[in-house]
Amino acid sequence: MHLSLGCLSKPILHGYFRSSCSWRVRIAFALKGIEYDQAPVNLIKDGGLQRTQQYKALNPMQQVPALEIDGITLCQSLAVIQYIDETRPGPLLLPADPKKRAQVRMISDLIASGIQPLQSLYVIQKIGAEKVQWAQHFIDRGFQALEAILKQTAGKYCVGDEISMADICLVPQVYNAERFKVDVEQYPTIKRLNQTLTEIEAFKLSHPSCQPDTPPDLRA
């Protein structure tokens, strides 16, 4: 009975409105048309509520997101997105063709391993005064590579003409770049893809400006 209830209940996403990794998961849910509950974790208040013992039990890395789903707790946004894709109906977030899947994962990992961690809150906090230059350096470094790759892989979206996990990673990373005042005009393919994607309902609904924990002054 417990397992059945676990499978029937809505997934619970522990996230933060402004976290790009939380936003990735919100986009995936929206694209799949899956209902879920949000349990906001304020990363700033009282030194960060992700550091509480209660939250550490959900995600020992003390990061968002963490997802309670099907009776287990999953962390790491790309693992979460691929789990959703493999267990839920709706549009495929990874294409069926192995080469295209590999390209989607390559672009997703370039962002999720090669850019985002280096400008994440816990790294920036350790860098101190030079934090904006540090973040700009690593975002620019990553975007130069990403632009070169996307020139080869992109159609309407990051890989061909189907929305994928790569697009889910791209938009929140461009949002971070803009927060750190990176000049996105230098990257015409990234800019064009971001413009196309941000017009799509699933990306709008999941935007940091309209989440349950978005502060009133940052609401769209």
10 vs 141 by CB, closer to a second copy: 141
44 vs 57 by CB, closer to a second copy: 57
Cα distances (angstroms) measured from residue 196 to each of 51, 75, 110:
37, 29, 21
39 vs 58 by CB, closer to a second copy: 58
Residue given tokens 């400006």 in the structure block: 209
Helix (H, G, I), strand (E, B) or coil at 117: helix
Q: Taking a C-beta distance cutoff of 8 angstroms, is the pair 67, 11 a contact? A: yes
76 vs 214 by CB, closer to a second copy: 76
| Least Å from the CB of residue 208 to a second copy | 20
| Least Å from the CB of residue 96 to a second copy | 11
42 vs 62 by CB, closer to a second copy: 62
| Least Å from the CB of residue 82 to a second copy | 6
Does the bond joining 188 to the residue before it have cis omega, within 30 degrees of 0? no
| Least Å from the CB of residue 156 to a second copy | 21
| Least Å from the CB of residue 62 to a second copy | 7
| Least Å from the CB of residue 106 to a second copy | 4
Query: Interface residues with a second copy (CB under 8 A)?
Result: 56, 59-63, 70, 72, 74-76, 78-80, 82-83, 86-87, 98-99, 101-103, 105-106, 108-110, 112-114, 116-118, 122-123, 126, 134, 137, 141-142, 144-146, 148-149
> Which H or E run includes 42?
none
Task: State how far the Cα of 205 lies from the Cα of 220, in Å rounded to an integer.
Answer: 11
Task: State how far the Cα of 111 lies from the Cα of 186, in Å rounded to an integer.
Answer: 17
What's 53-91 look like in SS3? Answer: HHHHHHCCCCCCCEEEECCEEEECHHHHHHHHHHHCCCC
109 vs 213 by CB, closer to a second copy: 109
Task: State how far the Cα of 181 lies from the Cα of 190, in Å rounded to an integer.
Answer: 15
Residues 6+ apart with CB under 8 A from 92: 85, 162, 164
